Amino acid sequence: MLKPRSIAILALVASILGLTFAAYSTYDYAEHLDRQIHAIHCSFIPGASASDEADNPCKTALFSPYSAIYRASYWGGVPISLFALGAFSFFAGFAAYLLVASERAPRRALLFLGVLGVTPLLASLVMFFISLTRLHTFCRVCVGIYASSALLGAAAVMALMVHARRARGDVDRRVDPRGETEIASAPAGSPLLPVGWAAALGFCAVLPALVYVAALPDYRPFLASCGKLAVATEPHSALLKIPTARAVQPVTLFEDPLCPSCKAFHERLVDEGVFDKLDVTLVMFPLDDEKDCNWMVDRALHPGACLLSRAVLCGGNERARAILEWSFDNQDDLRELGQKNVSALEKKIGERWGKDVVSCAQDRATVIRLQRNLHYAANNHIPVSTPQMFLGDKRICDEDTDLGLKYTLAQLAPEVLK
């Protein structure tokens, strides 16, 4: 038979666990407010050491547009884990209350836990769905929060069951070994109690977020401090112009089709609904050491990127975006082919985009066109890293291309967020 004490213990354990995972997630997020790269915790074991691996799924989640709200108003936004911190703190306190009150807890306390104890689970289900369908990866710290929320949800369901039993007057009257009997009819409690608890839950949920926002530094002086595009035009028309639906802001993007950061950056722009409002000039900048390709690199960071960059150029303005996005979507396979078997990479490009694109990518004229893209990068003395974004002629700092992207756009080009 379910008892309030057991339910309280389950809720307390779930809340403490959820609080721990939410604390790690918040800490990792807040560490990045210095605009530097930091290692990120990503383990089911709370306290396990942080990881700085490039394919860390928690990094993917952290840098995704779904990890925070109000990104346009605050640099990095307000991480949603802050609300989890507050909510789990409240539920831990509420579970402690139920544990001590045990059978004397008013029925409305069980009803309250039953109704509002599932809210973290509902939020977790939404985030789980986003991880599944958008991020295609599961951050282990996030999964820890989901599991904690599920435990709390289970406690909530049990609380509802006990509440329903007590409301029917159906209680266990057996005598326990210490001679205590379950109270036949716990008091219902004042109707104002749930209102007060709900208000306390709301206060707890928003307090960490309010403190976080109040402590944020002013990022505006840093935003336009990373240089300008010295040479605005490329005289040979070698660069691509990507047509978009509602272009309102000229940008120049330097991209490598096999660069994971470019892929993540592109997805951020698309997911934020920004890409279609950009008038995009695309400059191919492959970090590959193929002969006669990029003289600025002494080793292939992304083998096969030169060939794919030429394929993107061969797509012309109309098909370039599709070929680039296909390259992003198949980066791991394409990079492996580029490293081991270039002819297999050509075959793969041919299968998807046709032999004319492969022939074009092998053509001397396209080699020269790609070199002109690279000369454009050299003329502008951009850093040899990708992606690079110039908003008009202003260079967006690398530090502002992930967490701070939406805030930076709101400050420097607000029309793209309208």
Q: Which of residues 349-368 bind another protein (CB under 8 A)?
A: 364, 368
Shortest Å distance, C-beta 276 to another protein: 28
Q: Helix axis angle, 305-314 relative to 342-353, nearest 10°?
A: 20
The smaller minimum CB distance to another protein, of residues 100 and 126, is found at: 100
- 343 C-beta neighbours (distance < 10 Å), count: 8
Q: How far apart are CA 33 and CA 36, in angstroms?
A: 8
Q: Indicate the SS3 state at residue 74.
A: coil
The smaller minimum CB distance to another protein, of residues 131 and 401, is found at: 401
Binding window for another protein (CB under 8 A); candidates: 54-62, 163-171, 316-324, 383-391: 383-391
- Sheet with 240-242, strands from edge to edge, namely 240-242, 278-284, 249-255, 388-391, 394-396
Using the rule CB under 8 A, is 23 a contact of another protein? yes
Dihedral in degrees, nearest 10, Cα atoms 343, 348, 354, 360: -40
8-state DSSP, 24: H
Among the listed residues 69, 125, 188, 207, the single contact to another protein using CB under 8 A: 207
Amino acid at 324: L
Using the rule CB under 8 A, is 132 a contact of another protein? no
Among the listed residues 9, 13, 97, 330, the single contact to another protein using CB under 8 A: 97
Shortest Å distance, C-beta 235 to another protein: 4
DSSP characters over 181-220: B--SS-----THHHHHHHHHHHHHHHHHHHHHHHH----H
The smaller minimum CB distance to another protein, of residues 175 and 245, is found at: 175
Among the listed residues 380, 389, 400, 416, the single contact to another protein using CB under 8 A: 380
Q: Which of residues 60-79 bind another protein (CB under 8 A)?
A: none
Q: Indicate the SS3 state at residue 238.
A: coil
8-state DSSP, 132: I
Shortest Å distance, C-beta 43 to another protein: 19
8-state DSSP, 131: I
The smaller minimum CB distance to another protein, of residues 327 and 380, is found at: 380
Binding-site ranges for another protein (CB under 8 A): 19, 23, 26-27, 30-36, 82, 85-86, 88-90, 92-98, 100-101, 104-105, 175, 178-181, 200, 204, 207-208, 211-212, 215-217, 219, 222, 235-236, 285, 292, 295-296, 364, 368, 371, 374-375, 377-378, 380-385, 398
